[in-house]
């Protein structure tokens, strides 16, 4: 008798529950609103014909979640990530896999990206070279250790050498005399420990379409610097330095012994530099300059030097050490202004790019030496316009400490470091399903797969059915408050109408009971 009205009340009540839940989660990030879907009920007749059956009410057939896109709003957290399009974040909680659209993440104490409930975001980690290692998704525990230095092994100098330049009047080339060359370029390079050095190249026009190239390391022509750097490996100098270090550490201190050890070191360093200079073809005047610098350390010839460390002695002797410069190569140009590699190969000796430039390290930093830099001149030209450096670059960098994150639209997490470099630390994984309507809601903005949803398809953002990611953003709830309030009024009227049918049926039944 009252079946239809009661089922209508239950249905309207369930609809109000759904509407109330949608409204309650209007501010929940990543929330997807639901909709109560109803179906009518009929009782089967004994003879299988029910066309004249008025029906026995209504039932809730499904509570369907609406996986429509929510609005994307900016946030101040760089680890907040919004999905613009299809797909879900893949999370792990105590070994169980969940899926969510809520991208509010932060680091836990192990540098793992987690949400407010402690669910771990999964993805693909990068190796020390910054290469993403694809495979099975794992929790994104990010390595925030310092970025190790990379030694410079390649450099490219791109410039235009003006065809209108004249051959310098000052000969031979002297790195300290700007009138002996036409152009100078400077580039920072890095040794194996990440210490920066200055690599300078000099360009000397010797004829039409012909340019000799010289180089310097830390403002000293490389052959002269190599002569000065002989102290880094000479056995006598190494032994003298050890003697000085032992004298400095002696207890009680003996200033006379330290002064004697310094003088012995200066003599060994002078001999090493002078011997290397002779081998390099130094002139008598250049050898005399080394001797004068040594004499200035101990003018009286007392055999003791006070107030000078081995590094200071090296600097004074090295500043006085010069030898005739040797070019690192010759560049030839065609009549159209391009590098003429064929003509260069026919020179004696043949000139082949890249030039292998061996940069000495002086003073000694403890790094590998010399630094061999393959030097190219890609896109270098000789046109009539002014001589100009068009951009030089190299592949090394110093050590750097982690400073901040950034996440791109493909879900790649980039670590930015104090040396200005960035390195991929990992990539966020995403999942999608053949039927998102079949997902099982778990609460806490999470779902799990079910037989109705089908197995997940795992991939990376911005590929296939996966949406793009936006960092420092969140996807808001897709609840439409205006529509929900209107639906609430409708559900209320439906509830009142069904209550009225029960009241009317009760009145009819009361009339029937009162019949005599």
The dihedral formed by the CA atoms of 302, 303, 306 and 311, expressed in degrees to the nearest 10: 140
pTM, entire model = 0.77
The answer to whether the beta carbons of residues 210 and 330 sit under 8 Å apart is yes
* Tally of residues, the chain: 516
Domain boundaries, the chain: 1-68+477-514, 72-145+402-475, 149-398
Cβ count near 280 (within 10 Å): 19
The answer to whether the beta carbons of residues 487 and 495 sit under 8 Å apart is no
What are the structure tokens assigned to 302, written together?
């007392």
What is the DSSP secondary-structure string of 242-257? HHHHHHHH-SS--HHH
Torsions phi, psi of 267, nearest 5? -65, -45
Per residue in 264-298, pLDDT (tens digit) is 999 999 999 999 999 999 999 999 999 999 999 99
Q: 149-398: which CATH topology?
A: Tick-borne Encephalitis virus Glycoprotein; domain 1 (2.60.98)
Angle at 214 between CA 212 and CA 215, to 5 degrees: 155
Specify the DSSP element, H or E, that contains 419: none
- Residues in the chain, pLDDT under 50: none
Note the pLDDT of residue 41: 79
Instruction: List C-alpha distances in Å: 385 to 160, 165, 178, 210, 420.
Output: 8, 10, 21, 16, 34
Note the pLDDT of residue 264: 95
- Cα–Cα dist 277/268, whole Å: 14
SS3 400: strand
62 Cβ neighbours under 8 A, 6+ residues apart = 37
**Closest to 311 in 3D by CA, of 376, 252, 262:** 262
Per residue in 471-484, pLDDT (tens digit) is 999 999 999 899 98
- Cα–Cα dist 210/515, whole Å: 125
Angle at 32 between CA 29 and CA 35, to 5 degrees: 150
Note the pLDDT of residue 504: 82
The answer to whether the beta carbons of residues 324 and 340 sit under 8 Å apart is no
Q: Are strands 371-376 and 154-160 parallel, antiparallel or unpaired?
A: parallel
Q: Are strands 440-443 and 430-432 parallel, antiparallel or unpaired?
A: unpaired
- Cα–Cα dist 76/138, whole Å: 26
């Amino acid at each position: 008798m009252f079946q239809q009205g009661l089922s209508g009340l239950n249905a309207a009540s369930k609809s109000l529950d759904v509407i109330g839940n949608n409204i309650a989660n209007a501010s929940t990030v990543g929330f997807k609103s639901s909709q109560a879907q109803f179906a009518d009920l009929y009782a089967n007749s004994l003879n299988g014909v029910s066309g004249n059956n008025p029906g026995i009410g209504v039932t809730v057939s499904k509570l369907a979640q609406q996986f429509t896109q929510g609005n994307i709003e900016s946030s101040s957290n760089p680890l907040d990530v919004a999905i613009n399009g299809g797909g879900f974040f893949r999370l792990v909680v105590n070994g169980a896999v969940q899926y969510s659209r809520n991208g509010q993440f932060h680091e836990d104490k192990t540098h793992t990206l987690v949400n407010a409930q402690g669910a771990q975001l999964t993805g693909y980690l990068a190796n020390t070279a910054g290469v993403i290692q694809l495979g099975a998704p794992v929790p994104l525990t990010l390595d925030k250790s310092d970025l190790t230095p990379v030694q410079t092994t390649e450099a490219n100098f791109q410039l235009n050498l003006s065809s209108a330049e004249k051959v310098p009047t000052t000969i031979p080339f002297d790195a300290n005399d700007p009138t002996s060359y036409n152009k100078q370029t400077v580039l920072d390079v890095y040794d194996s420990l990440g210490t920066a050095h200055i690599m300078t190249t000099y360009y000397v026009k010797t004829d039409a379409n012909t340019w000799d190239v010289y180089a310097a390391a830390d403002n000293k022509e490389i052959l002269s610097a190599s002569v000065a750097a002989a102290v880094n490996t000479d056995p006598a100098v190494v032994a003298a330095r050890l003697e000085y270090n032992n004298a400095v550490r002696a207890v009680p201190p003996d200033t006379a012994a330290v002064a004697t050890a310094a003088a012995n070191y200066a003599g060994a360093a002078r001999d090493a530099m002078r011997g290397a200079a002779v081998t390099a073809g130094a002139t008598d005047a250049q050898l005399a300059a080394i001797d004068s610098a040594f004499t200035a350390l101990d003018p009286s010839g007392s055999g003791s030097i006070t107030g000078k460390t081995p590094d200071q002695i090296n600097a004074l002797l090295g500043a006085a050490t010069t030898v005739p410069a040797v070019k690192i190569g010759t560049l030839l140009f065609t009549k159209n202004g391009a590098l003429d590699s064929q003509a260069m190969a026919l020179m004696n000796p043949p000139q082949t790019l890249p030039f292998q430039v061996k940069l000495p390290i002086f003073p000694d930093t403890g790094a590998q030496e010399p630094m061999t830099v393959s030097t190219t001149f890609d896109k270098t030209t000789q046109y009539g316009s002014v001589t100009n450096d068009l951009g030089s670059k190299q592949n090394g960098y110093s050590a750097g400490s982690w400073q901040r994150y950034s996440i791109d639209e493909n879900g790649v997490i980039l670590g930015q470091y104090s040396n200005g470099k960035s390195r991929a630390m990992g990539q966020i994984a995403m999942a999608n399903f053949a039927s998102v309507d079949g997902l099982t809601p778990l609460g806490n903005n999470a779902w799990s797969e079910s037989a109705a949803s089908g197995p997940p398809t795992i991939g990376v953002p911005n590929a296939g059915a996966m949406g793009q990611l936006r960092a420092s953003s969140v996807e808001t709830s897709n609840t439409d408050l205006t529509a929900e309030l209107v639906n609430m009024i409708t559900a209320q009227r439906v509830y009142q109408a069904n209550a009225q049918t029960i009241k009317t049926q009760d009145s009819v039944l009361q009339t029937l009971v009162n019949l005599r």
